[in-house]
A and B are shown apart, each in its own frame.
Chain A
Amino acid sequence: MSHHVWSDRTAFIREPQAAAEVLRVLDIPRLDTYHNAVAQATGVDLSALQRLTRNTLMEMPPEDHLKVRRVIAPFFSRAGMAGWRDLVRHASEEVAESLEAIDEPDLVRDYCVPLFLRTIPEIIGLDLPQETAYFDAVVTAQRLTEPYLSVSALKSLNAAVALLADCFTQPRDDDPEGRPKTLRAYLHERQADLPDRLDPDFFVLGMLVGSNTITQSLAFACHGLLSGPPEDWAAAAIPGSAQIAPQRLLGLYQSTRTLVRVAPSPVEAGGCPYSAGETAVVDIVDANTCLRAQTGNPTAHMSFGSGAHKCPGAFLSETILDIAIPVLARRYPDMILEPERCRFVQTPMMQAPIAMPCTLRQDSRRKSARLCDIRDLPSAGQVLRDDATFAPPPMESHLRVLAQESGQDFDTAVLVARNAMFFMEGPRHTALRAALARDFDAAMLAEWAPRIDTAIDQALDGLVQAKKPDLVAGFSEPLRLNGVAPVLGVHSPDRARFDAVAPGLQEVLEPWLSMRHLTRVQACFAEALSLMQDPAPNETPRSLLAALLANPPEDFSPDDLRAVVLVLYGASFNLSHTLANIVLWILSRPAEERQNARDPAWIDDNLEALIARYSGPKYIYRQARADRRVGDLHLRMGDTARLAVHALNRGCPAGAGHLSFGKGLHRCVGARLSREIIRKAIPALFTRFPGLAPLAQAHRYHAMSQTVALSTLPCALTS
């Protein structure tokens, strides 16, 4: 069996009954024959690995397999697991508390992994040192079931198993403080009922290695709950709430993606004939989706397989998730993830987070001598309401002094800063806002509606043609190019060159740019300005730039107005980022929930909540013009207040009053256009492609410090 087994997704088995039958009738592919062949052919010592493989349920002959299953069934039953709940709760609370002392906590490294090390070995009966090296050995050994591993991979598996096998030697008091009997102690007690050739210690080691899927599913479930509405994480704090029913989470966030079986002899299963040696791939993710739809039961799943080889660890997984998630959610109700810094591992067989950096609490704090992070709404409200004290950085004056002191030419940067609305204040700002209220209003957008609809349809048509459909390159980006640029009046005879330069416009001018960085940003704006061509004065519908040039606000030259519109175009990248982030979240929901996105009424009801959670911009900056107390912080004149938008938005129920478009004098003038495009684009996308599905964990982010911006979001148009 090799990697080509997964090459044809259309051949995967998704229908639950057929999947269950295939899992029951066909066999698990033999691993020992491959390991033995490699050992003989290369002379490499794989003895530890072979000994482990021989003692796994997968490799046992049927009669031994049945014997072992009967012996371990009581131990792994729900009743059998009940005795371990106190251990799991105590460990969860201890590990959750330990997060407080960690500077940049990560939920995988600092919660799920330590929790595994403190619970599973205890339950199983191994004295595993609480060290990362031992957990890494478990993760390495867990690759046991991957087909056709390389010789070097098999050697590292063998070393990992040998390291773990040393943990038997330490003497172990099998019943400290009245806890239930460990699996190891239980098996030694039931030795007579076990097959003679079974080596119980290596069987127990196999169970330890297999149990790592619990760590992965726990992390995956936390990622899912923390990526959704704040209400999901709030509900997670309530033990027993439906939101976090372990079986529902195990159905949605099971790390297993596919299970592979092989026909031992010519046989029929799931309505298909199989010749001897032929393989079948069961798609667990889709099978679970079908099962929920067929039964109407949101907790129905087959994540642990079916039939004789059904994973025995279902109730152990349930116990861990049932306790560990509420403990974490209760202790850190305001915890948030940074989606763009989360990392996943993914193979055709499994997927799981391997990094989940998080912020435990949303209290404002001083980050450096000059920068304060504002993460609580009262403090943010004070900063945003007090325009006199907290204003955007005075970029124009900053750049003029910089040019004078350094002798460098920053004329273009000054031109841009002078006409960037988020830096402006005073009469010019007031005049420009009035002009935009006149020329960039609902009526103007209504005239452009047909063009925006056409841009959406063209993008959807383009996706159909694409060999590898990508919802950034093929959807959110084209909507900015063909949906926003014309409305703003941004045209260029050298469109290719302009579009190549344009991403640089996202570099927000800020007082802390280094001289080199500032020079690069200025060059980008200068070239973009030089590539711009004014729209025809009598074009219809009339673009913003055409309207402004025809009726300029006071103290704005044509060059000023071109800079105004170019800065707005740079800011409109955030529309593409926000749209793509929203689509990614919808795609990460179960298939039955994705259907909601087809309904314009659903998007209307959820638009503000979606923008609040998934908007591109991460921060709003304000500079203190005087010393001022803000909550517990003392800001000095010249200090920068950095408002953490997504942290603050979690305090806005259903997105009401969110900060994604800013507030007050400097609220985003592109908000109406952004809402219009998102409101239309999402139902159109999911109506056109009802079977739209993500390629699991294939999305990637731009390395941008100021914005959550996807660089790629590959998808399957029909799943």
Chain B
Amino acid sequence: MSAVVDKNALIDSELFQFLRAQVVKRSRIPAESVTPDAALSDLGLQSIDAVLLCGEVESKFDVEIDPIEIFEHETVGDFVQTLLDRIGT
């Protein structure tokens, strides 16, 4: 039960919503496909997309991200959770 609650909380987070919008803007992926379980490597992001996307998140949430980190996470949810933890601290 808690896993579902956590996932919903993740989806409702401002960060996830912002990240989803950025992914949709930079790739040909429809918003509904960008779920916490979506594999990052399937989003078709090139290095430039990763740098720009991370740049946007950096500016909005005042957190420094090494763009390569995007690809060191399996899913969108994992990446968002890492960022939420980093912003939290």
B59: A residues at CB distance < 8 A: 515
Number of A-B contacts (CB under 8 A): 60
| B interface, CB within 8 angstroms of A | 40-41, 46-48, 50-52, 54-55, 58-59, 64-68, 71-72
Is A638 within 8 A of B47, CB to CB? yes
**Is B71 within 8 A of A370, CB to CB?**
yes
Q: Do the beta carbons of B64 and A516 come within 8 Å of each other?
A: yes
- Bound-complex Cα distance A371 to B68 (A): 8
Contacts of B66 in A (CB 8 A): 512, 514, 517
User: Is A398 an interface position by the 8 A CB rule?
Assistant: yes
Beta-carbon nearest neighbor of A637 in chain B: B46
Chain A positions 620 through 650: 1 when the CB is less than 8 Å from some CB of chain B, otherwise 0: 0000000000000000001010000000000
Contact among B47, B55, B65 with A370 in the assembled complex (CB-CB below 8 Å): B47
Q: How far is the CA of A513 from the CA of B58 in the complex (A)?
A: 13
Judging by beta carbons under 8 Å apart, are B67 and A638 in contact? no
Q: Within 8 Å CB of B48, what residues of A?
A: 398, 401-402, 405, 511
Chain A 357-374 interface residues, beta-carbon cutoff 8 Å to B: 367-371
Q: Looking at the assembled complex, report how far the CB atom of A614 sits from the nearest CB atom of chain B, in whole angstroms.
A: 27
- Contact residues in B for A2 (Cβ distance below 8 Å): none
Say if the beta carbon of A406 comes within 8 Å of chain B. yes
Whether B65 lies near A512 (C-beta < 8 A) is no
Contacts of A371 in B (CB 8 A): 68, 71
Q: How far is the CA of A640 from the CA of B50 in the complex (A)?
A: 14
**B21: min CB distance to chain A, Å:** 15
List residues of A (434-482) whose CB comes within 8 Å of B's CBs. none
Least CB separation from A397: chain B residue: B48
B67–A512 touching, CB < 8 Å: yes
Residues in A with CB closer than 8 Å to B54 are 514-515
A226-B52 Cα distance, complex, nearest whole Å = 42
Q: How far is the CA of A512 from the CA of B59 in the complex (A)?
A: 17
Beta-carbon contact of A514 and B71 below 8 Å: no
Beyond A401-B48, A405-B52, A512-B68, 15 additional contacts (C-beta under 8 Å) are A370-B41, A370-B68, A371-B68, A371-B71, A398-B47, A398-B48, A402-B51, A406-B52, A511-B47, A512-B50, A514-B55, A515-B52, A516-B58, A517-B66, A640-B47
On chain B, the residues within 8 Å of A393 by CB distance are 47
Given contacts A368-B71, A371-B68, contact A515 B55 (CB under 8 A): yes
- Bound-state CA distance A405–B52 (Å) is 8
| A515 and B51 contact, CB distance less than 8 A | yes
In this complex, what residue of B is CB-closest to A640?
B47
Does B72 lie within 8 Å of A514, measured CB to CB? no
B18 → chain A closest CB, angstroms: 15
CA distance A592 to B59 in the complex (A): 58
Chain A 509-551 per-residue mask, 1 if CB under 8 angstroms from chain B, else 0: 0011111111000000000000000000000000000000000
A-B contact pairs, 12 of them (CB 8 A): A369-B40, A369-B41, A369-B72, A370-B68, A393-B47, A406-B52, A511-B51, A514-B64, A514-B65, A515-B51, A517-B64, A638-B47
Query: Is A514 within 8 A of B47, CB to CB?
Result: no
Partner of A368 from the list B51, B52, B68 (CB cut-off 8 Å) is B68
Q: Given A368-B72, A369-B40, does the pair A514, B67 have CB atoms closer than 8 Å?
A: yes
Cross-chain contact of B55 among A406, A512, A638 (Cβ < 8 A)? A406
**A515 surroundings in chain B (CB, below 8 A):** 51-52, 54-55, 58-59
Q: How close is A373's CB to chain B, nearest CB, in angstroms?
A: 13
Give chain B nearest CB distance to A117 CB in angstroms: 34
B contact residues around A369 at 8 Å (CB): 40-41, 71-72
- List residues of chain B with CB within 8 A of the CB of A398: 47-48
Partner among B40, B41, B58 whose Cβ is within 8 Å of the Cβ of A514: B58
- In the complex formed, the residue of B with least CB distance to A512 is B68
Minimum distance in angstroms from B51 CB to a CB of chain A: 6
Interface centre among B48, B50, B51, B58 (most CB of A within 10 A): B51
Residue of A nearest to B67 (CB): A512
Distance A511 CA – B55 CA, assembled complex (angstroms): 13
Question: What residues on B are CB-neighbors of A368 within 8 Å?
Answer: 68, 71-72
Chain A residue nearest to B26 (CB atoms) is A405
Q: Mark A406-418, 1 if CB is under 8 A from B, else 0.
A: 1000000000000
Max count, chain B CB within 10 A of own CB: residue among A393, A512, A517, A640: A512
A514 near B46 (CB under 8 angstroms)?
no
B68 to chain A minimum Cβ distance, whole angstroms, is: 4
CB proximity of B67 to chain A, nearest CB, Å: 5
Chain A residues contacting B41 (CB-CB under 8 Å) are: 369-370
State whether B47 touches A512 (Cβ < 8 A): yes
Smallest Cβ distance from A639 to chain B, in angstroms? 10
Say how far B28's CB is from chain A's closest CB, in angstroms: 16
**A655–B14 alpha-carbon span in the complex (Å):** 54
Complex Cα spacing A369 to B50, Å: 12
Please give the distance in Å from B34's CB to the nearest CB on chain A.
16
Query: Nearest residue in B to A511 (C-beta to C-beta)?
Result: B47
Cβ < 8 Å to B, chain A residues 552-581? none
Q: What CA separation (Å) do A35 and B32 show in the bound complex?
A: 71
Q: A638 vs B51: C-alpha distance in the bound complex, in angstroms?
A: 14
CA distance A515 to B55 in the complex (A): 5
Contact A638 B46, beta carbon cutoff 8 Å: yes
Closest to B50 in A: A512
Residue numbers in A under 8 Å from B68 (CB-CB): 368, 370-371, 512
- A518 to B72 Cα, complex, angstroms: 20
Contacts of A518 in B (CB 8 A): 51
CB distance from A509 to the nearest CB of B (A): 12
Complex CA gap A406/B67 in Å reads 15
Residues on A with C-beta less than 8 A from B55 are: 406, 514-516
